[in-house]
A and B are shown apart, each in its own frame.
Chain A
Amino acid sequence: MTRRPRPRGLRVRLVVAFVLVTVLGAAAAAWSSAGSASAALVASTQQRLTETIAGQIGAITPQLVYPPDQGALERLRAAVGADTLVTYRNLRSAEGPDTGLVTDALRTAVRTRRRLVTERIIAGGKPWLLVGMPITLTAPNGARTPSGIEVYAVRDLSNVERRIDGLARTAAGTAALALPPAVLLALIAAGGVLRPVRELRDTARRLAAGDLDARSPPQGADELAELTVTINEMAESVQASMAAMRRMQADARRFAADVSHELRTPLSTLTAVVEVLATTTDGMEADARESAQMAITETHRLVRLVEDLMEVSRFDAGTARLRVEEVDAARAVRDCLRARGRLDRVDVVAPDGILLRVDPRRLDVIVANLAENALRHGAPPVRVRVSASREQVLIEVTDGGPGLPEQVLPQVFDRFYKADAARTRTPGNGLGLAIARENARLHGGDLTAGNADGGGARFVLRLPRNPEDR
């Protein structure tokens, strides 16, 4: 058996339930009223018929010869009607066309009860009323004895049946009349329920889309209004905590920016001092020279870190600006690597003539950071491949190392993230890839990390040919 899909919509379900309840109620009311009306109709018709027959008999009996002869029986039968049978001991009047319907139960009841009895039967598809009665002898003092005369009459109830059918049809019509108002009421009720629900849904969608100011005005004082108020309160608290979080984030960024800014002045002094120191290392003892060298290196790292932090702060504050020029991609990559002395360790595959509009300083930072990262964490051969489509330029940096582990991939661009926790004192400061990606995004491009088919790490930089086209 295939299962019929249940109606899903609230509106459909409400309408169906309303209509069912209304029509069932109306049908039950109409059915019960039609039932009691038809019962009353049958009872009154039956009473009228039996009273008529008893009255007709009572009117003629004082004139009837007793003990009756055949003629008296026929007179009695004629007084009651054609469909009648009158008996007295062995005498029988002529029979009517339907007197054969009289049942044995009725005859027995007439003889034992000595009262007027009735029975309704269905014969030949038609309802019949059977009336049977003895005629009694009454003494002047009121004592009754059976006279031996019995009268059986048969009456057709088809007329009553037709009237009852009419009643039933009227009842069915009345029940059907309840249908359109029920549908209308159900639609109105469904509308009343569904409108606030729809508004709530829209509000929830706007909230989900990030519009934290979205609210829906509560209407009325029902459960839906309570739900609306609750959702509004929820939105309120989400909005408040989001604002608090943003404020804290901004505070943290400003703190980082302030710290790096404040560090710059003493650092520049320190740099100057270190440079002076560098010129005098030749005359030092071996130990002192080593310490001086270490101080120089670390100071340079510190300067680099502070510069990177300031760069990150500029990205966070949204104050980083592009200075776009037209650049040949291949030449820019080679210049970058040559300036850092890495050209001999990096294999560059770059066709000449790929022109794009970028901020050359930022492209230099990206390529340098990617190459540095590959040389430091991967293994040779490190390869930079430049390719281009009509819309964008791809710069791909791969290495021959083991590649990036799965769990590292999502965090590889996080600030200060170091894949190898044991080697915290690596020369990199953990900001290089983060800055590279921020730069790529500033151009409207992107930087993604993955693994090459051969197993090495693979960073892909996508830059639009012209960032101003965006």
Chain B
Amino acid sequence: MRRMRIWPAVVVLLLAGCGVRPSGVADGGEAPTGVAPGVTLYFVGARGELSPQLRRTGHLGGIPEAMALLLSGPGESGLRTDISASATTQVVVTVAPGVIRLLVPLSIHEVTPLGIDQIVCTALGVHIQSGGSKRTEAQVRFTLPTPESDKRRTCPLFR
């Protein structure tokens, strides 16, 4: 008789071991991010330092959008840019793991090292704001061949 009572218990145990069981509240990882009231562009201040400027576009937007705004210049804000004005503001952006490649419509002579930092900081800022890794580096490729095109850069402000 005892064995007869054990069997149903075993079967119930077997069935209970399977199936989806309820769980409590569990952590599922990082929350998504990417909302912003505007895009942050980097220009040069009065003392020659990199200076962020929030351009209130209503949304964060992508890196090409931010690049186009950066190349268009600081406007009436008291900041200046170290990037020469050019006819086109279109930047081709390629995002690879760990590195963002930016193909700018400029030659190395049309931009100062500070200007390169402006480009790098703006691109990496957008990348980080939209949830990207802080360790990502940027590679700025110029129109004319130069060793500077192969350098991997980081923004001095984010260190």
Contacts and interface: CB of A to CB of B under 8 A. Distances in A.
A in complex with B = yes
Interface of A: 1, 3-4, 24, 27, 31, 34-35, 38, 42, 46, 50, 54, 57-58, 60-68, 105-106, 109, 113-122, 127, 131, 133-142, 144, 147, 149, 151, 157, 160-161, 164-165, 167-168, 171-172
12 contacts: A42-B20, A50-B29, A54-B30, A61-B33, A61-B131, A62-B130, A68-B35, A118-B26, A133-B31, A141-B157, A161-B20, A164-B20
A157 B134 CA distance: 35
B21 interface: yes
Interface residues of B, number: 44
B98 interface: no
B128 A117 contact: no
Interface stretch (B52-60, B79-87, B106-114, B145-153): B52-60
Given A38-B18, A120-B21, A135 B35 contact: yes
B33 A137 contact: yes
A63 B61 CA distance: 5
Interface string B20-32: 1111111111111
Nearest to B58: A65
B interface, over-half SS: loop
A38 B31 CA distance: 27
A66 B59 contact: yes
A117 B60 contact: no
Contacts of B134: 142
A27 B125 contact: no
Given A140-B158, A141-B128, A66 B24 contact: no
B90 interface: no
Contacts of B157: 140-141
Contact of A140 (B1, B17, B125): B125
Contacts of B60: 61-63, 66
A27 B25 contact: no
A68 B37 CA distance: 9
B11 to A, nearest CB: 9
Contacts of A161: 19-20
Interface string B28-68: 11111111110010000000000010000011111000000
A37 to B, nearest CB: 9
Given A116-B28, A117-B26, A64 B34 contact: yes
A3 B125 CA distance: 81
A125 to B, nearest CB: 11
Contact of B25 (A65, A117, A144, A151): A117
Contacts of A58: 32-34, 130-131
Q: Give 6 closest A-B pairs by Cβ, nearest first.
A: A61-B34, A140-B125, A127-B20, A116-B28, A168-B18, A57-B32
Taking each of B1, B17, B124, which has the highest tally of chain A beta carbons within 10 Å of its own beta carbon? B17
A166 to B, nearest CB: 10
B129 interface: yes
B2 to A, nearest CB: 9
B19 A133 contact: no
Interface of B: 1, 10, 13-15, 17-37, 40, 52, 58-62, 121, 124-126, 128-131, 134, 157-158
Contact of B129 (A24, A122, A140): A140
A142 B15 CA distance: 48
Given A1-B1, A140-B129, A62 B61 contact: yes
B144 to A, nearest CB: 30
Contacts of A54: 29-32
Given A64-B35, A115-B28, A117-B25, A138 B129 contact: yes
B158 A141 contact: yes
Contacts of B24: 105, 119
A254 B157 CA distance: 131
A384 B116 CA distance: 151
B158 A62 contact: no
B35 A66 contact: yes
A120 B14 contact: no
Given A27-B10, A66-B59, A131-B28, A138 B33 contact: yes
A113 B22 CA distance: 21
A105 B22 contact: no
B31 A109 contact: no
Contacts of A4: 1
Contacts of B52: 140
Contacts of B32: 54, 57-58, 61, 116, 133, 135-136, 151
Contacts of B36: 62, 66, 137-138
Contact of A135 (B34, B124, B129): B34
A120 B23 contact: yes
A284 to B, nearest CB: 100
A392 B3 CA distance: 64
Given A115-B28, A136-B31, A66 B37 contact: yes
Nearest to B38: A66
Contact of A61 (B17, B20, B25, B35): B35
Contact of B28 (A105, A117, A149): A117
Contacts of B129: 62, 138-140
A128 to B, nearest CB: 9
Given A131-B28, A144-B33, 5 more contacts: A57-B32, A61-B35, A62-B35, A116-B28, A127-B22
Contacts of A68: 35
A341 B152 CA distance: 152
B33 A135 contact: yes
A38 B18 CA distance: 7
Contacts of B1: 1, 3-4
